[in-house]
C-alpha cells in the first residue's frame, strides 16, 4: 500500500510506489549531482583555488566577485532560453560544458608553474563552470521536478529532491577540502567523471518534459514487462481507439487499483486531460 496523507502521497509513499520509482530516482540523482558537478568547488573555495593556481591575493578577490556577476547574468539568460529549448537538451549542454571546463581547469592547474599565462586560463575556465551551471543544471533541475510528478505526489517529490540536494551540499562542504589536500588539481578530474556519468544518465534515462502533460511524460516509463503482459491480456484496451493519455490513465489505474494512491493518480491524469481539452476548445 502506498502511504497517503489526506489526498496527497507522502514522501515515504514515494519509495513504495512502483509507478513513481523512475521520477523518484531522477529526483535523487539530480539532487545529489547539483553539489558534486564542480560548481561548489569554485563557488565556496574560489579565493584559495585562485591563489593556489598562481594568482595574487588581490586578483583572487576580484575573480571571486566576478563569479557572483556571472551567476546572476547566466540565470537571467537561462530564464529566456528555458521555454524555447528542451529541458533535457539544456541540461546536457550545461553538464557537458562543466565536464570539459573541469578537465581543462585540472590540466591548467597542473602546468601553471611551466606556463605563466595559465593562471588567467584558470580564472576564465572557473567562470565558465559557473556560467554552464547557471544556464543549465540548476534551472532545469527545479523546473523538471515539478513536471515529473503528478499533483498528488509533487510536494513529496520536490521535498525528496530538496533533501538530497542539501545532503550533497553537506557532504561536499566537508569532503572537498580533504580531496583538495590529498589530490590537489586532480580533484577536478573527479568532477569531470561525475559530470560525464550524469550526461550519460540524462541522455539515457530522463525523458523530455517540455510542452508535455504528466500523462505524456508518464507514458515514457510505463512500458514495462508487466504492462506488456497486461496489454497481451487486454488487447481491446489498445484497439479501442483511445488516445495515449486515456491508455495511460487506464493502465496506471489498473496497476494501482488496490491502493488509494492509484485513485489519486487517476484523478490527476483525468483533471489534466480535461483542462487541456477545455484550452483546446
Helix intervals (H) in the chain:
11-16, 21-33, 39-52, 57-81, 87-110, 118-135, 137-148, 151-183, 187-205, 214-218, 225-233, 235-238, 244-255, 260-280
Residue 44: CB partners within 8 Å, gap ≥ 6?
A: 173, 176
The greatest distance separating any two alpha carbons of the chain, rounded to the nearest whole angstrom, comes to 73
| Same domain flag for 173 and 90 | yes
In a domain, 3, yes or no: no
| Same domain flag for 248 and 121 | no
pTM as predicted:
0.73
Domain region containing 34: 11-207
| Same domain flag for 62 and 164 | yes
| Same domain flag for 178 and 122 | yes
Percentage of the chain beyond pLDDT 90 is 17
pLDDT for position 268: 54
| Same domain flag for 271 and 162 | no
Dihedral over Cα of 50, 54, 57, 61: its sign: negative
- Report how many domains make up the chain: 2
- Between CA 199 and CA 189 the distance in angstroms is 15
Dihedral over Cα of 198, 200, 205, 211: its sign: positive
In a domain, 172, yes or no: yes
Confidence bin at 270 (pLDDT 50/70/90): low
Picking from 181, 207, 233, the residue at the C-terminal end of a domain is: 207
| Same domain flag for 178 and 200 | yes
| Same domain flag for 177 and 221 | no
Query: What integer is the mean pLDDT of 235-263?
Result: 43
- Between CA 131 and CA 281 the distance in angstroms is 42
pLDDT for position 52: 67
| Same domain flag for 235 and 196 | no
Query: What integer is the mean pLDDT of 102-120?
Result: 84
Confidence bin at 197 (pLDDT 50/70/90): very high
| Same domain flag for 245 and 143 | no
- Between CA 173 and CA 44 the distance in angstroms is 9
- Between CA 135 and CA 75 the distance in angstroms is 6
Picking from 164, 191, 207, the residue at the C-terminal end of a domain is: 207
Contact present, 94 and 136 (Cβ < 8 Å): yes
Q: Please name every residue paired with 246 in a beta bridge, in sequence order, or none if there are none.
A: none
In the predicted model, is pLDDT for residue 259 greater than 60? Answer: no
Q: State the CATH number of the domain containing residue 179.
A: 1.20.1250.20
Smallest CA-to-CA distance from 21 within 255, 229, 203 is with 255
Query: What integer is the mean pLDDT of 21-37?
Result: 89
Contact present, 213 and 272 (Cβ < 8 Å): yes
Smallest CA-to-CA distance from 127 within 170, 73, 84, 183 is with 73
| Same domain flag for 106 and 231 | no
pLDDT for position 47: 75
Picking from 153, 177, 207, the residue at the C-terminal end of a domain is: 207
In a domain, 6, yes or no: no
Query: What integer is the mean pLDDT of 232-237?
Result: 39
| Same domain flag for 198 and 238 | no
| Same domain flag for 257 and 141 | no
Which cell numbers in the block locate residue 226?
508487466
In a domain, 1, yes or no: no
Smallest CA-to-CA distance from 144 within 223, 15, 29 is with 29
- Please identify which residue in the block is written with the cell numbers 510528478: 149
Smallest CA-to-CA distance from 105 within 88, 71, 130, 134 is with 130
Tens-digit pLDDT profile for residues 70-93: 888 988 888 888 888 888 889 999
| Angle of CA points 56, 57, 60, to nearest 5° | 85
In a domain, 273, yes or no: yes
In a domain, 182, yes or no: yes
Smallest CA-to-CA distance from 197 within 102, 131, 269 is with 102
Contact present, 12 and 160 (Cβ < 8 Å): no
Residue 93, Cα to own-chain centre: how many angstroms? Answer: 13
Amino acid at each position: 500500500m502506498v502511504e497517503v496523507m489526506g489526498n496527497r502521497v507522502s514522501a515515504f509513499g514515494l519509495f513504495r510506489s512502483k509507478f513513481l520509482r523512475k521520477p523518484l530516482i531522477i529526483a535523487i540523482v539530480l539532487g545529489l549531482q547539483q553539489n558534486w558537478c564542480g560548481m561548489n568547488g569554485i563557488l565556496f573555495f574560489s579565493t584559495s583555488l585562485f591563489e593556489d593556481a598562481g594568482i595574487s591575493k588581490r586578483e583572487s578577490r576580484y575573480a571571486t566577485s566576478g563569479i557572483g556577476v556571472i551567476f546572476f547574468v547566466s540565470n537571467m539568460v537561462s530564464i529566456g532560453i528555458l521555454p524555447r529549448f528542451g529541458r533535457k537538451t539544456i541540461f546536457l549542454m550545461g553538464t557537458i560544458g562543466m565536464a570539459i571546463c573541469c578537465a581543462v581547469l585540472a590540466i591548467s592547474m597542473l602546468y601553471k608553474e611551466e606556463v605563466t599565462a595559465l593562471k588567467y586560463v584558470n580564472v576564465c575556465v572557473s567562470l565558465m563552470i559557473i556560467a554552464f551551471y547557471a544556464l543549465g543544471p540548476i534551472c532545469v533541475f527545479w523546473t523538471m521536478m515539478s513536471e515529473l510528478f503528478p499533483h498528488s505526489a509533487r510536494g513529496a517529490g520536490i521535498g525528496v529532491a530538496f533533501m538530497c540536494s542539501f545532503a550533497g551540499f553537506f557532504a561536499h562542504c566537508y569532503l572537498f577540502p580533504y580531496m583538495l589536500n590529498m589530490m590537489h588539481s586532480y580533484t577536478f578530474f573527479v568532477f569531470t567523471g561525475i559530470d560525464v556519468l550524469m550526461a550519460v544518465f540524462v541522455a539515457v534515462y530522463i525523458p523530455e518534459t517540455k510542452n508535455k502533460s504528466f500523462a505524456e511524460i508518464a507514458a515514457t516509463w510505463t512500458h514495462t514487462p508487466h504492462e506488456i503482459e497486461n496489454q497481451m491480456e487486454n488487447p481491446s484496451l489498445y484497439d479501442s481507439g483511445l488516445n495515449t493519455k486515456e491508455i495511460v490513465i487506464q493502465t496506471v489505474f489498473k496497476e494501482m487499483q488496490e491502493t488509494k494512491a492509484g485513485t489519486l493518480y487517476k484523478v490527476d491524469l483525468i483533471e489534466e486531460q480535461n483542462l487541456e481539452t477545455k484550452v483546446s476548445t
